[in-house]
Amino acid sequence: MPERRAGAGRYAPSPSGDLHLGNLRTALLAWLFARTTGRDFLMRIEDLDRARDAGSAEHQLTDLTRLGIDWDGPVILQSDCAAAHEAAIAQLAAADLVYECTCTRKDILAAPSAPHAPPGAYPGTCRNRTAAERAAARLAIAPRLPALRLRAPAAVNTGGFTDLVLGETRGDIDDFVLRRGDGTIAYNLAVVVDDAEMGIDQVVRGDDLASSTPRQILLQRLLGLPTPPTVQYAHVPLVLGPTGARLAKRDGAVTLSDLAAGGMDTAAVRALLAQSLGLAAPGEAVTLQQLMARFDPAHLPREPWTWQAS
């Protein structure tokens, strides 16, 4: 076993239904990254949108346990971290880094973009409004409330970091949302605050989130939280469905329950996931201890894995 060290990795599913093969594969990788580097492995349920839960969080934890994945300490609920989220916004606001935004998605897409800005980047419509203009804008959208956006420093428009899987990675940074108009804390802020509160220094997740990581690193710096290289990021390839799109439940038998109903038990699913990562031969039964002994991030596949239901 690797020597225990400070810090931790984590898995943080949203409770929007049973985990599918793509979710389970990422969870397995996050566990392997943490355990093979001597880190604790923590579990956080990202339940800020409580309407999506319907009890699925418990199903998700049960499926992870069935797969053999364990974690240290209690499961953290993101919804219990509201005070820390609001404190972070207050800290940014005190530095004049927060402003109200009344734009809809349609408004943003219709607005002229700044030169060289990527499609969908926020054009700064509400950035420099006067107090009177802000009051008029709030009145115009009532009873809807304004969102809160980060006033990104003028010198920042792109950011880069070194990813353990992708290597040098960059992403654009605009004035992104910190809190939605319905009061829900935005993902980029919540994940930064929660990871810091939990002592997470290794983040493993799907590579579809890699482009948002520079925004999160900027927030870490503005809030005085640990940043790379103290915090490591590993964005792993996704699982695709038969059409080439990201795997979804509409692609058929993709959850442990669905696969079990078709005759594939949990051990067979674990073997399938290991095979997809180059950690097992076709049909080879494997334990998590065996996978730990074989795991080497340098040899992970860099391309997505396509699931074809039999």
How confident is the model over 39-59, as a mean pLDDT? 85
Per-residue pLDDT at 2 exceeds 60? no
165 near 235, Cβ under 8 Å? Answer: yes
In this structure, what token pair is assigned to residue 59? 């199903």
CA pair distance 22, 247, nearest whole angstrom: 7
**Could you report the per-residue pLDDT of 28-46, keeping only the tens digit for each?**
999 999 999 999 999 999 9
* Local structure of residue 186 (DSSP, 8 states): P
Q: How many helices (H) and strands (E) does the chain have?
A: 10, 12
Please answer whether residues 98 and 65 qualify as being in contact, where contact means their C-beta atoms are separated by less than 8 angstroms. no
The response to whether 12 counts as a known ligand-binding position is yes
Q: Which domains does the chain have, with CATH numbers?
A: 12-79+188-305 (3.40.50.620), 83-159+172-186 (3.90.800.10)
* 33 three-state secondary structure: helix
Any known ligand binding at 103? yes
Q: Is 13 annotated as a binding residue?
A: yes
What percent of the chain lies above the pLDDT cut of 90?
81
Whether 212 has a binding-site annotation, put simply, is no
293 has binding-site annotation: no
Tell me whether residue 14 is annotated as binding.
Answer: yes
Q: Of 142, 148, 151, 152, nearest to 181 (Cα)?
A: 148
With a pLDDT cut of 70, the percent of the chain lying above it is 93
233 among annotated binding-site residues: no
- CA pair distance 266, 66, nearest whole angstrom: 7
Measured N-to-C along each axis, helices 266-276 and 56-67 cross at an angle, to the nearest 10 degrees, of 80
122 in a labelled binding site: yes
270 is in an annotated binding site: no
Predicted TM-score (pTM) of this structure: 0.92
Which two structure tokens, joined as six digits, stand for 108? Answer: 């943003």
Mean pLDDT of 120-131: 92
